[in-house]
Amino acid sequence: MKNNSKKLTKKIIAGKYKGKTLQLPSKTTTRSSKAIVLESFFNTLQFDIIDATFIELFSGSGSIGLEALSRGAKQIYFMEQDCDALKVLKQNIALTEPAACEVFSGNSFENITQVLARLKKTKEKAYFYIDPPFSIREGMEDIYDKTMALIASLPVESVRMIIVEYMTGLEIPQKLGTYRIKKSKKFGNTSLSYLVSEEME
């Protein structure tokens, strides 16, 4: 039954929770990754994420982290600041495996230290999926500068790979700290770049 507020939803594409319907926050709150971007990303890393730790910064509905969980990742850390998005995120996690998920609410740029401390303690390397709000949103003008600085500061011993989703047209430096872009792909107005540490090659 449809109501006038027309709730936005997205389904998990594959894995053990395939077909589960996830709620999405309103478009004014967050921007959901396109299905084509998600599909390309998971095709690229489909076997690598099995039993891996996966971190979704600016996670919104959590659709990427929960897709990773569905496809075999063992631990997901979500990071989100917006209250409405957090509510939706927690509802979506409840449909899957809450014991494998942890939510860090608040500013991602501040909470990253807690997440890194957790990784250090467990001696885990993680995939970091970073999808900051578009910088055209009010109050977000410096979001990409802060994101690039965050990437450059991530300790190599905690990182398997960093994936950044961003506005096509934005120039991401080929090198950020010890990380460099291994490959990039465009999907209309959205692009994905995969960064790895030079030490890992």
pLDDT range class, residue 2, cuts 50, 70, 90: very low
Tokens of 103: 């939510």
Which of 85 and 27 is assigned the larger pLDDT? 85
CATH code for the domain defined by 9-200: 3.40.50.150
Provide CB contacts within 8 A for 111, sequence distance 6+. 79, 104, 105
Mean pLDDT of the region 112-127: 95
Q: What is the pLDDT of residue 29?
A: 47
Domain residue spans of the chain:
9-200
Integer Cα distance of 139 and 178 in angstroms: 29
pLDDT in tens, 152-186: 999 999 999 999 999 888 888 999 999 999 999 99
Mean pLDDT of the region 81-101: 95
Strand (E) or helix (H) holding 164: strand 159-167
Strands 101-105 and 21-23: unpaired
Integer Cα distance of 63 and 46 in angstroms: 16
Mean pLDDT of the region 76-85: 94
Whether pTM > 0.95 for this model: the answer is no
pLDDT in tens, 4-60: 456 788 999 999 999 999 999 876 545 556 788 888 999 999 899 999 999 999 999
Q: What is the pLDDT of residue 59?
A: 92
